[in-house]
Structure 1
C-alpha cells in the first residue's frame, strides 16, 4: 500500500487483510468487514470463521454466494507504515488521516484478486462491493458511499458517529438516560458534591475526600480492604483532582459495550440499597437522607463491584496511541463533563481544556490547534443522506449522539424508517433507512454469540463488539437482506 496517496512521498507498507471464499461463486459480491481502530487479527475467528456464533458478514456471503474480506486499517495491528510508539514523529503521523485511510480501500478494491475468481471479475466495476462496519468503521463505510459510490455499492453502518464534534459531553449524557431515576439522581448529586469539595474545600477536606475515594477503589467485595492497606494521606494528597473525581466513573468503564443492565445495574443496586441494608427510595438517597449518606453508599458501591479486579488487559498501546492521534487531529469527540447540566454524572474536571492539553502533551508537534472536524463533516455529518446505506443504532449507545439517530439539542432530530428505499435512491429526507435497537448500546448487531465463550465471560476480554442480545443481530441482518434483494439487481445500471 502506498504510504501517501496524494503527495510526493514515496514508499509502501504491507496492509493486512484476510479472505474467506468458502461460499463464493463467480458473480457473487465482495463483503468487506472493516476492523477500524484496532488490531484486526483477534476478529478473524468471530467475523470470518463464526467461532461460537454467527457473523453478518459470513451469513451474507453464504446467502449471496459472495467472498468475505476482513480489512485492517493503516497504523493498527501489523498494518503500520511506521512503528507506532511515543517516538513516532509528526512527519510519520501525518499519513494517518481519514482521507489516506479511505483511499487505501479504493486502492485495494481496484486491485483485489483471488484464486477463486476469474481475473478482474472482483473489480468494483464488475462486482458489487458491500461494506460492513460498526462505530468508526461504520463512519468509513458511510463516507465511502458519499466519496466513492463507484467503489462501495452498499453499506451497513452500525453505531456510526458520522458527525465529528470537538465537544462530546453527550457521551455520558446518553449513559445517564439509561439509569434508574434514583441512581441517576444520586450519581449526579455525588458528582457535584465531589467536584465542589475538591474545587473549593479546605485542604484537609480535599485530602480526606481523595483518601476515601482511593480507599474505596482499592477495596474489594465483602468488605475486603486488603488492596487498600498501606494507603496514606500523603498518597491521596498527591493525586490530582481530576484523577480523584474520575474514580466516580469507574462503574461506567464497560458501559459502552454492555449497557446499563449488565455493567451498571449491579453498582446502582448496591448504591440505592446502601449495600443491601435498606430498601431503595424512589427519589434517591441524597434527597431523602442527605449527601453524606449518598456519598457513603456510592463508596460502598465502588468497593463492592470492584471492576479493577476483573482479569485481563484490554489496552493495546498501538491502538490507543493511533486512535488518540485520529481524534486529536480530526474527530474531536472530547467526552467532557458539563457543569451546567444538573444531571451530569461525569466530573467537570474532565474539561475540553484538559482533553486538548492531553492531546498536545502526547503529540507536541504536528497537531492542529483544534481537531479539524470539517475534514469529516464535509461529507454531510448529521445531514448526510447517501443511497444504499443501512443505519443501525442502540437506543442508549453513547455514540448514537453523534450519529443520524441523535436526539441531542443541536442535532437535526432525524427519524429512521424501515421502508427499503429504491436502489441508488436516498430515503426521503429528513428520514434515513435504518433501525433503532431498544435498550441496546454500541454495535450490538454485527454478530451473535450462540455458545458460551471464555472471551465473553469477563468484561476486560470481550474485545471491541459485545453481542449482549440476540434479537438485534437477526433484526438487522433480516432488514439488510431485504435491502440487498432490492439493491443488488440494480448493480451496473
Structure 2
C-alpha cells in the first residue's frame, strides 16, 4: 500500500504592493535550489512531445486525471529491452530543458552510450501540467512528495510511447528505466528508490538534497569555504558586529540609538524587525549559487576599501563595515525602496495569491507543506555550532520564513499546509527512510565541492559520521567534483574537473545496465 506522508506525521504527532515572488521566490535566500541548468535543443524539429493522463491522486484514482507534458528523443533507442532515461527538471516549467534529450548532457550521453531513449517530463503543478486554475491550500493538497514520486513510477509503467510498437515492451519493468534529476529532482529520484522501488532499475541523483533541514544555516558553509580568506574574515567580523549591536536591544521592537544608527548606515533604517534587516545584510552571500561572480565582486569591494590587501586577516572591521554598508545601500536598499520587498511585516503585502501560477507559489507550498525546510539562515547563536563567527547573522532564523506559510496559504475548506498541522522536516526524513542515511540501491550520487546545498546531500560534512563515501562498485556510489557547484555534471562542459568524473558515471551505469534481466527471463 502506498504510504501517506501525512499519515506518518499523524502517527508521530499523538508604495506598489510587493509580490510574494519578490519576497520569497525571487530572492537568493528563500529555499529554492534552482539547480537544473536550462539547456536548449540544437534541432527542436527533432523533439517529439505528448501529454499523459496522470492521476491527480494516486491514493484515489477516482478523482480523475490531469495532463502531464513530456518530450522525447528515441533516435538512439535500440528497441524493447533497451534503456529509457527519464529526466525530471524539477520545480519549473520544462520547456527550456529540451537539450537534455541530446548529447552534451548526461542523459543524452547515456542514451548514446547505451542505445537508449530520453524522455523529459514536467513535474506536476508546473508549466502546463497544472491541474487547477487557482492554487489554494485545498487545490494544492495534491502537490506533495508522495504524489510526485508516484507520478514517476505510474508514468514509467503506463505511458503509451509512440516510438514503441511492441505493445508495452518499452515500459517498465519490461525495459530498464533510469530516473535522472538534479537538486530537488535529484532527491526525488533517490527518494523514489526508497518509497516506490522496483519500477526504475537505477537512478542518477545530482546534488540530491535528500536531507530535509529546517534550520539550514549550514547552507553557507560551502560559501564561506569558497570565498577568499580575507573576505571571509571581514564578512564574519561585520556580521559579528551586527549581531552584537542587535543583541543590545531588549526585544525585537526596541530600536535604540545604536541600532537605528546601524540600520541607517546600511540604508535599511525603515526595517523595524531585526530579521528583515539581517536578511538584507545577508543578501551578498545568498547570491553564491546563481551568481558567484557577484560574490567575488562584493569581496573585491570590501578588500580594496583601504587600498588593497591579500592578508588572510582582511582589512579589519573599521574599513570593512562602511564598505559592506555602502554595497548594501547601492544594491539591497535601492531595491527595497523601489519594491517594498524588504519589509516582510508590512500590512500592504498580499501574501495569498492563488492565481499566481509561475512556479514560486508552488515551491513555497512544498517548503511549507511537506515540509522540506531548507531555510537559508544564520546559526541559532554565535558559537552554538562550534564556529565562533559566521557569514550570516543569527537574527535571521527559520521563523522568518515559517511565519509566512499560513499567510500565503490560509485555511481553505479545512485544508492547511502541513507545517500548520505541526509537520516537520524530521517527519519527512522518517518517511524517506532516514534522509541522507537511507538504504539507497543503484543510486549514483554526484555532488559539487562548493555547492551551497551540499550540506543537505549525502556528502554533507555535518552529517553524523561525515560524508557518505562509496566506490563505483557499491549500491550508492558518491562522486564529488572538485571545485564543482550545484548539479555540475548534468550539462557536459569542457571543464577538467567535471570531465574527470564522466568515465566513472558511464562505468557505473554500464555495470548496472549489465545486471538488468528482462522479467520474462528472471527466476522471479
Partner residue of 1:168 out of 216, 228, 231: 216
Give 2:485's aligned residue.
441
Distance in 1, Cα, partners of 2:111 & 2:311: 52
Tell whether 2:313 aligns with 1:269.
Answer: no
Alignment of 1:183-222 (within 5 A): 183-200=231-248, 203-214=256-267
Q: Classify the secondary structure of the residue corresponding to 1:249.
A: helix
Tell whether 2:309 aligns with 1:279.
Answer: yes
Tell whether 2:363 aligns with 1:333.
Answer: no
Partner residue of 1:245 out of 272, 275, 278: 278
Gaps of 5+ in 2: 1-53, 250-254, 336-355
Give 1:11's aligned residue.
64
Relative to structure 1, the CA distance from residue 79 to residue 97 in structure 2 (aligned partners, 3 Å threshold; closer, same or farther) is: same
Q: Classify the secondary structure of the residue corresponding to 2:179.
A: strand
Shift of 1:89: 2.3
Give 1:386's aligned residue.
440
Give 2:323's aligned residue.
297
Is the contact between residue 448 and residue 484 of structure 2 (CA under 8 Å) also seen in structure 1? yes
Distance in 1, Cα, partners of 2:334 & 2:263: 18
Give 1:320's aligned residue.
360
Most deviating of 61-70 and 179-188: 179-188
Distance in 2, Cα, partners of 1:182 & 1:386: 40
Tell whether 2:141 aligns with 1:94.
Answer: yes
Partner residue of 1:236 out of 256, 259, 269: 269
TM-score, normalization by structure 1:
0.79
Shift of 1:211: 2.9
Give the structure with the larger helix fraction.
Answer: 1
CA offsets per residue over residues 323-360 of structure 1, 9 Å max, x none? 11111122122222112332211122221222221222
CA offsets per residue over residues 405-436 of structure 1, 9 Å max, x none? 1111x533144233323xxxx3xxxxx41211
Partner residue of 2:410 out of 364, 372, 376: 364
Is the contact between residue 56 and residue 63 of structure 2 (CA under 8 Å) also seen in structure 1? yes
Shift of 1:69: 0.6
Distance in 1, Cα, partners of 2:302 & 2:507: 46
Give 2:122's aligned residue.
72
Is the contact between residue 258 and residue 441 of structure 1 (CA under 8 Å) also seen in structure 2? no
Q: Classify the secondary structure of the residue corresponding to 1:416.
A: coil
Give 1:127's aligned residue.
175
Gaps of 5+ in 1: 215-234, 310-315, 427-431, 451-469
Is the contact between residue 272 and residue 281 of structure 1 (CA under 8 Å) also seen in structure 2? no
Paired residues in the alignment total 424
Relative to structure 1, the CA distance from residue 193 to residue 372 in structure 2 (aligned partners, 3 Å threshold; closer, same or farther) is: closer
Partner residue of 1:106 out of 153, 158, 166: 153
Distance in 2, Cα, partners of 1:182 & 1:149: 48
